[in-house]
Amino acid sequence: MSAIDRNRPHWAITPDTDIHSESDIASDASDSDIAPDSNIAPDWMLLVRPPHKTISTYLPMELMREIFLYCIESNQIKSGQLASVCQYWRSVITTISHLWSTLRVGTWTEMEQVATWLQRASPKKVIIDPQRDSQSPSKAPIFAALRIALLSTNQWNELTISSFPPENLASQIGVQFTSPMNVLKVLHVEAGCMHSPSFAHLLNLVPTEGPLCEMRLHSPFVTTHFLQPHWFPVLRNLTVLIVNGRDMNEPFELLPTFTQLQTFEADRLRLPLYEPNTNLPLLSTLRKLQLRACSVQWMAGRQFPCLEECSILLPRHWE
């Protein structure tokens, strides 16, 4: 093979080719049956044009995944915009499971979103918020997506309840047929949530023995629901607890329960008086403490070796 042959690219026209010039090729193409606006490249074009190469040709999927993550997490672009570029980019986006981990369920959420979430999400996070539903009414039954999502409560890793359907509707979405949340790690209930039988049933799906480590209970009703002796096994393993004790009229023997608590925030929580020798394991684990209108008597004369942040507003006085 001559030096010229070795340097010739694989797509070049060879001397043995019957086509002698690009003008000949063009004239041949004009007589073909290919429509001018066809997206299919004719065979003759492959003889004079090198293969089209893109970033996807050179970069492995693992590296593209890291690039996409950087762009998304730095708020430079949304995952949906990347996924709409081409089929390959969409396949890369769909492999980043935590991008699909959160399912926001409202009144008119499409059922297809639940199916996609169940297939791709890891970990699985659910936000129930029918009051701030951004989707328009559809032909599907009301709360159809929520009804489907409730069938997978045994797979939920995090649950945020921003609002909940009224009882006349909630009683029809199958809450009574749901499974225990055996893998739930985080429970967050916002302040606007009100008591209802169906809502209470959903809260009771939290197992007393499980991996739950964080509870953010801004609803006074939910705080009262969980600050009961029945839930001591759950409280014992918490690392984060935020509560609103506005509706609790009697002091609750809470503090000795914690053995791993690192963040404790309480608003208007009534606590009993503690003797100086009362064993409080949270003293050696607390890193962040924020109290508002709560008793601070239990803190007197005690040391907090790990405490990094402390805020006390309107402390209650004791006799």
What per-residue confidence (pLDDT) applies to 287? 98
Compute the radius of gyration of the chain from its Cα atoms: 31
152 assigned to some structural domain: yes
Cβ contacts of 69 within 8 Å, gap of 6 or more: 96
| Residue 244 shares a structural domain with residue 299 | yes
Q: What is the DSSP string of 26-89?
A: HHHHHTSS--TT--SPPGGGGGTSPPP--HHHHS-HHHHHHHHHHHHHTTSS-HHHHHTT-HHH
| Residue 198 shares a structural domain with residue 51 | no
| Residue 71 shares a structural domain with residue 182 | no
pLDDT digits (tens, 9 = 90+) for 137-172: 767 788 999 999 999 999 999 999 999 999 998 988
33 assigned to some structural domain: no
**Number of compact structural domains in the chain:** 2
pLDDT digits (tens, 9 = 90+) for 212-260: 999 999 999 999 999 999 999 999 999 999 999 998 888 989 999 999 9
Q: What is the DSSP string of 132-172?
A: G--SPP-SSPTTHHHHHHGGGGGG-SEEEES----HHHHTT
Residue among 259, 219, 214, 218 nearest 241 (CA):
214
pLDDT at 133 over 90: no
Cβ contacts of 129 within 8 Å, gap of 6 or more: 104, 105, 106, 160, 161, 162, 163
| Residue 114 shares a structural domain with residue 72 | no
| Residue 230 shares a structural domain with residue 156 | yes
Single out the residue in 75, 100, 125 at which a domain terminates. 100
| Residue 200 shares a structural domain with residue 309 | yes
111 assigned to some structural domain: yes
**Mean pLDDT of the region 42-64:** 62
What per-residue confidence (pLDDT) applies to 36? 43
Indicate the Cα dihedral angle 139, 140, 143, 144, nearest 10°.
-170
32 assigned to some structural domain: no
* Domain boundaries, position 253: 101-313
Q: Residue 179 gets which letter from DSSP?
A: P
| Residue 68 shares a structural domain with residue 161 | no
Single out the residue in 100, 118, 141 at which a domain terminates. 100
Mapped onto helix, strand or coil, the DSSP state of residue 282 is helix
pTM as predicted? 0.73
| Residue 146 shares a structural domain with residue 276 | yes
pLDDT at 32 over 60: no
| Residue 120 shares a structural domain with residue 151 | yes
